[in-house]
Amino acid sequence: MNFENQYKQYLFYDLETSGTNPSFDQILQFAGVKTDLSFNEIERYEFRIKLRNDVIPEPGALIVNRLSIEDIMEGYTEYEAVKEIQSILSAPGTINIGYNSISFDDEFMRFNYFRNLLEPYANQKLGCIRMDLLPITLMYYLFKKESMIWPSKNGKVNLKLENLNDLNGLADGMAHDAVVDVLATIEMARRFKEFDPQTWDYLISHFNKKIDYERISNLDEVVFSDELKCRKGFFIKNGFGYQNNCISGCLVIGKHQTRDQTYWLRLDKEDFTRYTNNNEIQNVLKKNIVKRKTAVPDFILPFKDRYFELLSNERRETLDSNLEWLYHNYSELLILKEDLIVFEYDDKRVELDSSLYHRDFFTESEKKVFNKFHGLENVKDKIDFVSNLSPSFEKEMFTRIIGRNFYDLLPDNIKNDYDLSILNVLEQDLPDHMGRKRNTTEKALNNIRKIMNDPSKYDDQQYDILKSYESYLLNRG
């Protein structure tokens, strides 16, 4: 039985958002299409979500998505939409898939769930699995070039979905519309599978943690000593650059002692033999480390001759030279490994909406409180429920939920609590988990003016979107 047949259906989805920060921005449009395993459409979903009262969209996001401020003042509340979306994405037996979805859309959904006190990892449970067509597309580009017409500009490949759609006629409609992007993703998946079903099944099974782990375990081993043995493989990642065929020969140095994260040392990028000072050696080795999570998009291939052909002669020589050098200097790898597997990030204070990775999973007692709130159908009952809670993480998060989604229905005392909460957020100006700050009216106005300094780059519709957004910000209370 092939891997795909373990599941009931695909759920292709795409988001259009107010910016790129999953903690502080929001979803403005969700589109999803459920298909059978042959990509025949079963059901279609679309949610347009109105702008929250505490979100300042990035001007660039509005003009890319061609959404005016008027467009995003109507729609579902975030809370209502996210509850519905979670039930769709986490239906048992579902393969959730998008284009660049694990790096972007999936992260956005996780933080949306978290700040609305829903299970953040719901679409990875109940027999569901998440996949991403972008790394699959990269593999077809590298090894199955006849499967698609590949876009390039000035000799450089560009695998943006809109470019692939334009060249290959995947779906009709405007790029960066969530529905169009979903339909284009489905059609591309269909063509890949029809072109080479065996390759398709091999690649999608990589998103299963057990299979991915087994494949890594079966890679050839380099034995440096009794205490140091490392697997070697070709790491495929678009961040390595299309000029390098997005491939790098690597060694697995080790796995973090508490996190699902392995460390891979690139052997073909920089010549280690040039360094003699211990500090310099450690610095250059650390510079060439790539992190990877199990079954998260980047593919790993064994050291086979056909994959070596993707390396230039210079990079092959660097790989061989570095590997030989490491045999004689493996103590440097031991030092590197010990540093990496125990490394912990500084425990910096982050804004509450971004604290998903800075706290433990929701406890069973917390889930009972959350579920009680979610189970109350009447907004007034939710408000009363929150009013009776003692100060806590739960009360602060619930206050934000009802203030963001039902502000006009709140009694004055709860409005005041919410207003003070948001004022406190703005005054503290705490970063997200990546150190990024929340967008502000001042930043957005400055960005609008920078963009409008060169109106020749934008059409009349985009210019009008910026002007109406500028007016909204200047008149915002």
Hey, where are the domains in the chain?
3-205, 209-341, 358-428, 441-475
Q: Is residue 392 over pLDDT 70?
A: yes
Q: What was the pLDDT predicted at 477? A: 63
Q: Strands of 179-338 (E only): list them.
A: 221-225, 228-236, 247-255, 262-266, 289-292, 299-301
What are the pLDDT digits (tens) for 102-141? Answer: 999 999 999 999 999 999 999 888 889 999 999 999 999 9
Q: Is 166 exposed, middle or buried (0-12, 13-18, 19+ CB in 10 A)?
A: middle
What percent of the chain shows pLDDT beyond 70?
Answer: 100
What is d(CA 294, CA 300) in angstroms, rounded to the nearest whole number?
Answer: 11
Q: What is the pLDDT of residues 327-379, one digit of tens each?
A: 999 999 999 999 999 887 777 899 999 999 999 899 999 999 999 999 999 99
Q: What is the model's pLDDT at position 125? A: 86
Classified by CATH at the fold level, domain 3-205 comes out as Nucleotidyltransferase; domain 5 (3.30.420)
Handedness of CA 145, 150, 154, 157 (dihedral sign): negative
Instruction: Give Cα separations from 348 to 120, 240, 344, 437 (angstroms).
Output: 21, 30, 11, 14
* Matching residue, tokens 């957004």: 469
Residue 101 has pLDDT above 60, yes or no: yes
Q: Per DSSP, what are the bridge partners of residue 33? A: 12, 44
Return the pLDDT at 347: 75
Q: For 376-393, what is the mean pLDDT?
A: 95
DSSP 8-state symbol, 20: S
- Over residues 39-84, the pLDDT tens digits come to 999 999 999 999 999 999 999 999 999 999 999 999 999 999 999 9
Which tokens sit at 410? 């709140």
Between CA 301 and CA 147 the distance in angstroms is 20
Residue 152 in contact with residue 166, Cβ under 8 Å?
no
**Residue 443 pLDDT class (50, 70, 90 cuts):** very high
Max Cα distance, the chain (Å):
73
pTM to 2 decimals?
0.94
Phi, psi of 249 (to 5 degrees): -75, 130
Per-residue pLDDT of 209-252, as tens digits, reads 999 999 999 999 999 999 999 999 999 999 999 999 999 999 99
The third-level CATH classification (topology) of the domain covering 209-341 is PX Domain (3.30.1520)
